[in-house]
C-alpha cells in the first residue's frame, strides 16, 4: 500500500503564506487525483483543493479560492498547496489524500484510497 509523505506546516501570522508538499511513496505510485483536506477538532474533515494528475485540472473549496493554489511537479511526483493571505480560520491539521481511480466527488473523504499523516497549520497573532 503506497503512502503519502507530507511536509511543511507550522505557525504563521494572519496574512502570511505557507507551502505544503505531498509526495507519494514509492515515487512511482500511480495516482488519479491528489487532494488536500483539513480538519479542526469537533468538525468534519473539509476538502480544500484537488488536482487531477494527468490533466492538471484543479478545484477548490469556496473558502480558499483566490488564496490557495494546488500545483504539481511531475518530475518529482510532488503536489504542493501554496497558501497565501492566511486567516485565523485556516488553522487546522492539513492532510493530503490520493486515489488510483475516480471514486466520487473530490471533496468527499470516501473518494480517496490513502492518506498522509497530517501536518498542523496554525494561523495566530
- 34-58 pLDDT, tens digit each: 999 999 999 999 999 999 999 999 9
Residue 36: which of 66, 7, 73, 2 has the closest Cα?
Answer: 7
Q: What are the backbone dihedrals phi and psi of residue 85, each rounded to the nearest 5 degrees, phi first?
A: 50, 50
Q: What is the pLDDT of residue 85?
A: 98
Q: Are 51 and 79 in contact (CB under 8 A)?
A: yes
Low-confidence ranges of the chain (pLDDT < 50): none
State the Cα torsion 47-60-31-37 to the nearest 10°. Answer: -20
Cα distance between residue 118 and residue 116, in whole Å: 6
Q: What is the pLDDT of residue 80?
A: 98
pLDDT of residue 28: 82
Amino acid at each position: 500500500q503506497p503512502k503519502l509523505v507530507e511536509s511543511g506546516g507550522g505557525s504563521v501570522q494572519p496574512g502570511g503564506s505557507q507551502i505544503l508538499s505531498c509526495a507519494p511513496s514509492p515515487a512511482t505510485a500511480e495516482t488519479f487525483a491528489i487532494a488536500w483536506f483539513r480538519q479542526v477538532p469537533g468538525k468534519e474533515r473539509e476538502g480544500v483543493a484537488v488536482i487531477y494528475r494527468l490533466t492538471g485540472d484543479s478545484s477548490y473549496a469556496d473558502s480558499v479560492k483566490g488564496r490557495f493554489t494546488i500545483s504539481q511537479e511531475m518530475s518529482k511526483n510532488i503536489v504542493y498547496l501554496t497558501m497565501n493571505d492566511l486567516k485565523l480560520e485556516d488553522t487546522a491539521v492539513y492532510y493530503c489524500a490520493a486515489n488510483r481511480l475516480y471514486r466520487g466527488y473530490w471533496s468527499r473523504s470516501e473518494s480517496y484510497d490513502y492518506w498522509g499523516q497530517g501536518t498542523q497549520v496554525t494561523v495566530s497573532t
